[in-house]
Amino acid sequence: MLSEIKNLAEAFAPRLLEIRRHIHAHPELSGQEYQTAAYVAGVLSSCGISIREGVGKTGVIGELAGKGADPRTLAIRTDMDALPIEELTELEFASRKPGIMHACGHDVHATIGLGTAMILSQLSEPLPGNTRFLFQPAEEIASGAQWMVKDGAMEGVDAVYGVHVYPSVQARHIGVRYGALTSAADDIEIIIRGESGHGARPHQAIDSIWIAAQIITSLQQAISRTQNPLHPIVLTFGKIEGGTAPNIIADRVRMVGTVRSLHPESHASLPQWIENIATHICATYGAKCEVNYRRGVPSVQNDPTLTQILETASIEAWGNEYVKILPEPSLGAEDFSVYLDRAPGCMFRLGVGHQDRPNYPLHHPKFEIDESAIVTGVVTLAYTACKYWQR
């Protein structure tokens, strides 16, 4: 099985390069992946895979029927959207669209999804159960997974695998992590309403800027004193606005931020915890407080059994020295976690780093990859799928 998969991947390699470069040159922003989706659907159809278009607005689903011996359905999810970044790579297949760039490797992910579909549909022995390929839109705005799930993408799915490229791991390497891979990411808005007055007579006013400072300082300190230090939390206020002039006490401050957490217990407790601290501080000094907490995406928690299957498949395919157990999760976010509410899953990191030159990080205008990683990704996912059906 493994050698058949590797042979097919080598045979498809030039075509996969062509696909990746086409998608890279024609990036589309989140929720506007019309051409990419049509292109993906075309490739899937040409492999005889049945497709459903317009799932979650611009998403595509490919369904590869198994021979029916196993009732389970395995999903393989990749994403398709690009970022509002002006590409500065000088690649010959660089973005042809000003201000839009595949700087997060979703062009590579979509190509790997297609490559995996091409291989699994060509195996001499059909797989026992159904494989569903999810090509998701709008990952960068943490919305596409929800759109897809709402449109039934996860109905009947028993397990889901996903992949994300990772420039700090060298190409031909696979990064595996058990448990938490990425962080939960929520949005917070706090509005403080005090009372305006003369800057020289603060006792006759309620200074909402000073109260905002108290809230920010208290929250940062309270993380270290009231939250479990083994469950990391990052709270960043990225924007704060209030006041009109140097000598007028501000009657209103609005601050917005992002809240990252890895442990489901901390994640659950955060809205109430923040609201308590903010409203009590405001009440102490006579201000009114409004806290709006918006849930973003949960943390990606890799399922141990599915991670084990992926790790074993990767080691068999590439050898121990090419499979790294990642020591730490990331406080970045990934909406792959939304699928995990419906079925267990596992996302792995695919090394795309060049060996002989510096690698730019994800979301950088010069981000680019060692394209040999595409075959590595395709073989890893295809062989992991085969191993999934064997247990």
Instruction: Give the residues lining the site for Ni ion (CB under 5 A).
Output: 104
Q: Whole-number minimum distance, CB 173 to Ni ion, in Å?
A: 18
Q: Closest separation between CB of residue 363 and Ni ion, Å?
A: 8
Closest CB to Ni ion among residues 104, 282:
104
CB of 130 closer than 8 Å to CB of 65:
yes
Query: What is the C-alpha to C-alpha distance for residues 80 and 142, in angstroms, rounded to an integer?
Result: 13
Asked whether 78 and 113 are in contact (CB, 8 A), the reply is yes
> What is the full DSSP assignment across 78-126?
EE--BBS-------TT--SSTT-B--SSHHHHHHHHHHHHHHHHH-SS-
* DSSP H stretches of helix in 143-302: 144-150, 208-226, 264-284
Question: Of 86, 88, 111, 89, whose CA–CA distance to 101 is shortest?
Answer: 86
Which residue, 271 or 296, is less far from Ni ion as judged by CB?
296
Report which residue type is found at 139.
Answer: E
**Angstrom distance (rounded) from CA 30 to CA 112:** 19
- DSSP percent split of the chain into helix, strand, coil, nearest 5: 40, 25, 35
Closest contact distance (angstroms) between CB of 332 and Ni ion is 8
- What is the DSSP secondary-structure string of 314-352? HHHHH-GGGEEE-SS--SS--GGGGGGGTS-EEEEEEEE
CB-nearer residue toward Ni ion: 163 or 317? 163
Q: Which contacts of 39-44 are long-range, i.e. CB under 8 A and separated by 24 or more positions?
A: 40/80, 40/110, 40/113, 40/114, 40/135, 43/19, 43/114, 43/117, 43/118, 44/114, 44/117, 44/133
Pick 255 or 347: Cβ nearer Ni ion: 347
User: Which residue has the CB atom at the shortest distance from Ni ion?
Assistant: 104
Nearest-approach distance from CB 81 to Ni ion, in angstroms: 9
CB of 149 to Ni ion, least distance (A): 18
207: CB partners within 8 A, 6+ apart = 194, 249, 250
- For residue 65, give both structure tokens: 């029927």
Q: Whole-number minimum distance, CB 164 to Ni ion, in Å?
A: 6
Between 64 and 169, name the residue whose CB sits nearer to Ni ion: 169
**Min. distance of Cβ 30 from Ni ion in angstroms?**
11
- Closest to Ni ion by CB, 104 vs 309, is 104
Q: How far is the CB of 252 from Ni ion (least distance, A)?
A: 36
Other beta carbons within 10 angstroms of residue 340's beta carbon come to 21
By C-beta, is 79 or 207 nearer to Ni ion?
79
Q: At closest approach, how far in Å is the CB of 165 from Ni ion?
A: 8
Sequence-distant (≥ 6) Cβ neighbours of residue 213 within 8 angstroms: none
Nearest distance, CB of residue 217 and Ni ion, angstroms: 34
Nearest to Ni ion of 23, 104 (CB atom): 104
Contact 122/47 with Cβ under 8 angstroms? yes
Q: Which is nearer to Ni ion, 79 or 370 (CB)?
A: 79
**Of the two residues 309 and 347, which places its CB atom closer to Ni ion in the complex?**
347
